Amino acid sequence: MKEITCKKCKFSNDKNASYCQNCGLSLKNKSLKKLIKSFNFNNVAGLGQKGVSIAPLAGMQKVSNLKDNHIKLVKKAHSLEDGTWYCPYCGYRNKTMTYECSNCLKPKP
């Protein structure tokens, strides 16, 4: 095959063409795969952040103009409505029935 047929508009392009000369669609699969790969990577990174819960205490301790009750939450275990609690030492989100942090093994305050 000397020519590459555009998948989108069926225009026959030169085999060395990177883009369809008619509609501009990329004809090189490699560049397309690269795009998809980078896109998926970002998605995976986002999902990872969602799965690993990090208490907001790390930022709270650094930011000085926060409300007092937020700072108190940092000093105590940050218990949430669903029963889980944030470890004040490492920020790990623990399940209801644990009495020590599952991540750093320090006792719940």
Closest approach of Cβ 20 to Zn ion, in Å?
3
Which position among 12, 26, 79, 103 is part of the footprint of Zn ion (CB under 5 A)?
Answer: 103
Window 13 to 42, contacts with Zn ion (CB under 5 A):
20, 22-23, 25
Q: Give the rounded distance of the alpha carbon of 37 from its chain centre.
A: 15
Round to whole Å and give the CA distance between 20 and 30.
Answer: 15
Binding mask 42-81 for Zn ion (x = CB under 5 A): ----------------------------------------
The DSSP output letter for 77 is: -
DSSP 10: -
Q: How many residues bind Zn ion (CB under 5 A)?
A: 15
Q: Please say whether the beta carbons of 75 and 58 come within 8 A.
A: no
Three-state secondary structure call for residue 58: helix
Give yes or no for a contact between 87 and 55, defined as CB atoms under 8 angstroms apart: yes
Answer for which of 4, 11, 60, 93 binds Zn ion (CB under 5 A) is 11
4 counts as binding Zn ion under rule CB under 5 A: no
Question: Which positions touch Zn ion (CB under 5 A)?
Answer: 6, 8-9, 11, 20, 22-23, 25, 87, 89-90, 92, 101, 103-104
